Structure 1
Amino acid sequence: MDKRIFSSFLSGFILASIFFSLISLINFEALPEKRLPSAVIMGVRKCGTRALLQFLSLHRDIEIAKEEVHFFNRKWSNGLDWYLSQMPTVKRHQISVEKTPGYFISFQAPSRIYAVNSAAKLLLIVREPVARAISDYTQIFNNRLARNKSKLAEFDNLAIKNGRVMGNYKPISTSIYHLHIRKWLDIFNPNSIHIIDGDNLIRNPLEELRKVEKFLQLDPFINNSMIYYNSTRKFYCMKKDSKNICLGSTKGRSHRPVTNQTIETLKKFYYPHNKEFFKIVNRTFSWN
């Protein structure tokens, strides 16, 4: 064989050997990839879902979807590939979490989530129902103003008419938790759903986050050094990558004015509904 040809062949062989040796060292299974979320924050709107998601992002083994995806309630026709494209890339040991509060009151979401991922863990955050309803209304009111739409009637007039609570008014009906949780429990095992006390998340976020870490079978990682109380904003904020991070200006904003009579009427209205919810989830909250 010609020496030049042999030399060229030998060089090519050596380079190929080095290439395949390097390839063999790469653990392709460990490369980041987009996967279905292991956990879904499915509600409830205006109970602290955004705060919960951001707090969970402090965990080294959690990556979060940056926006509400609405796949299982509004964008099902976009297909599973589209849904995956909305997820963050995660390493093999990590999990992804998405948040769409609208899932909780959706009729289709429970069965669709189960069909896509029957092993999904569901996170549900709830708070005192009257405060949640007023907060819900306040957001709708402010959103209309921001879009230069006609001014919304005051909450007192929308929530109660002729002395009767308007149970079909969305801010009111969303707070009737037992009506919505039933359809989830018809499909998912109760052990697949973890309920977070939204009122306690405001007062003691680390206590609630510890419970979530345990539910998700993650090592306890989030600690006091990552969370601090902002006396100006009057709620807890985060420290991440040497930066102080607080939620947007709408977090903790003042509610629209509501009369004491309306509040008391709604408390009486929700009382039996709360009792039914406590019975279903086998847990009580301090609302009553």
Structure 2
Amino acid sequence: MVKSTTLQIFLVVAIVSFFGLLVIHRSLNIGAFSKAGKFIRKSVLADQAQEEEVPDSAGVPDDDSESDEDSELDGDTEFEVGGNFRPGSDDPAEDTWSNVRQRLPKALIIGFSKCGTTALRTFLTLHPNIVSPIEEVRYFNFNYTKGLDWYRRQMPPSTEDQITLEKTPSYIMSPIVLKRIYLFDSRVKLIIIIRDPIVRLQSQYAHSFRNVPEGARKPDFKIWVKGDSSENRITHFVGYTKYIRQVYDQFPKDQILVLAEEDFEQNPLSVMKEVEEFLGLEPAFSKEMFYFNKEKGFYCFNREHEFFPTVLKMVKVNSRTGCLGEDKGRDHPDIDEDFHKELVQFIRPHNEQLFRLIGKRIVWENFE
């Protein structure tokens, strides 16, 4: 009888323990599924947010253009429009984490080549609310078929308070590219920088023959400028008006900022402040960020400034001097007096058209 009672008690305890463990196990599973569910829901929301930022595309007909860029474009491809949907969260700490991610640009430096676009982009990255990829992405002309997801992945991580800025100076050369940009985001801010046309020709010449061995013969500057026809290369490199007018035809003027390379070269701080205001950013630039390098002949980053370690992570800069790469500040070819007069006479009317279009006059040394 005692044995039987003991056995009964043992069975009851075992059954109760079994059901107790079952309840605990089930409770733990429910908690795990609940957490997993929350994680999945958040992931879905994040994916939806990504999709919301890229609404359906719209087709754009092909255009005729004299630009070299157009041969790389497919006018029948679809164009995608930008957006600004952002997911919310009840957890502030979680918002801080999810807020940092790769975003599509809100501002573009679209032109012109050999006008200081690299230096401009580089100096702008000193602003804590500007992020920018180091390399030219060339999405809207040469990489357009790769899609907006690919474009987004080329951007550095940013917060909602920051502006992602991309630089590809060849964007301005093609009306098809400008249409693509407009349909991507009709509110995007566009920055254009121009330069004394004769100095730009000299800079392009130096760039074109940068890899010619020392002592090797280079083509005469005059022959190179005239090219195959008497006005071919000149009109291409001095015809700012045609290309800026295309931008004005596509975008409101208050979204376009035209800068002069000479102003940037002589007083970078004033130009940085102008860009700050244009982009609607809080002032952050100061004269202590820059110093004039007499050997190079232009401004460089101040290595003593607290921002400099950050600069090294964002731009290609010489850590010893704070200056841009060796390809900046190359020696320009000399121009004989007669050819210089010929260039000035030909280019001056183009300059006058340009000044009327942009509504301001720029003092260029070659045309004083």
Shorter-chain TM band: 0.7 to 0.9
Contact in 1 for aligned 2:107/2:188 (Cα 8 Å) = yes
1:91 aligns with 2:159: yes
Which of these residues, 48, 51, 68, is aligned with residue 136 of structure 2?
Answer: 68
Which residue identity is paired with 1:52? L
Shift of 1:246: 1.2
Partner of 1:268: 345
Shift of 1:31: 2.2
Shift of 1:182: 1.2
Distance (whole Å) between structure 1 residues aligned to residue 98 and residue 281 of structure 2: 18
Which of these residues, 151, 154, 157, is aligned with residue 223 of structure 2?
Answer: 157
Contact in 1 for aligned 2:206/2:330 (Cα 8 Å) = no
Shift of 1:160: 4.0
**Aligned-residue CA RMSD (Å):** 2.9
Contact in 1 for aligned 2:273/2:283 (Cα 8 Å) = yes
Unpaired stretches in structure 1, ≥5 consecutive residues? none
Contact in 1 for aligned 2:191/2:258 (Cα 8 Å) = yes
Sequence identity percentage: 32
Distance (whole Å) between structure 1 residues aligned to residue 230 and residue 172 of structure 2: 20
Which of these residues, 232, 235, 239, is aligned with residue 168 of structure 1?
Answer: 232
Distance (whole Å) between structure 2 residues aligned to residue 79 and residue 15 of structure 1: 38
Shift of 1:175: 1.9
Higher relative contact order (CA 8 A, sep 6+): 1
Which residue identity is paired with 1:213? E
Contact in 1 for aligned 2:201/2:225 (Cα 8 Å) = no
Unpaired stretches in structure 2, ≥5 consecutive residues? 1-15, 40-88, 310-318
Identify the structure with the greater strand proportion.
1
Contact in 2 for aligned 1:124/1:193 (Cα 8 Å) = yes
TM-score normalised to structure 1 length:
0.87
Partner of 2:332: 255
User: CA 1:67 to 1:86, structure 2 compared with 1: closer, same or farther past 3 Å?
Assistant: same
Deviates more, 1:1-10 or 1:271-280: 1-10
Query: Bigger radius of gyration, 1 or 2?
Result: 2
1:45 aligns with 2:108: no
User: CA 1:128 to 1:165, structure 2 compared with 1: closer, same or farther past 3 Å?
Assistant: farther
Distance (whole Å) between structure 2 residues aligned to residue 263 and residue 29 of structure 1: 58
Partner of 2:264: 201
Contact in 2 for aligned 1:158/1:166 (Cα 8 Å) = no
Partner of 1:218: 281
Which of these residues, 14, 21, 25, is aligned with residue 4 of structure 1?
Answer: 21
**Deviation sequence 1:126-171 (CA, Å, 0-9, x none):** 111110111112111224x27x9x965222113248xx983222x6
User: CA 1:18 to 1:181, structure 2 compared with 1: closer, same or farther past 3 Å?
Assistant: closer
Distance (whole Å) between structure 1 residues aligned to residue 27 and residue 325 of structure 2: 63
Task: Determine helix, strand or coil for the equivalent of 1:123.
Answer: strand
1:119 aligns with 2:187: yes
Shift of 1:16: 8.0
Which of these residues, 296, 308, 311, is aligned with residue 241 of structure 1?
Answer: 308
Contact in 2 for aligned 1:166/1:172 (Cα 8 Å) = no
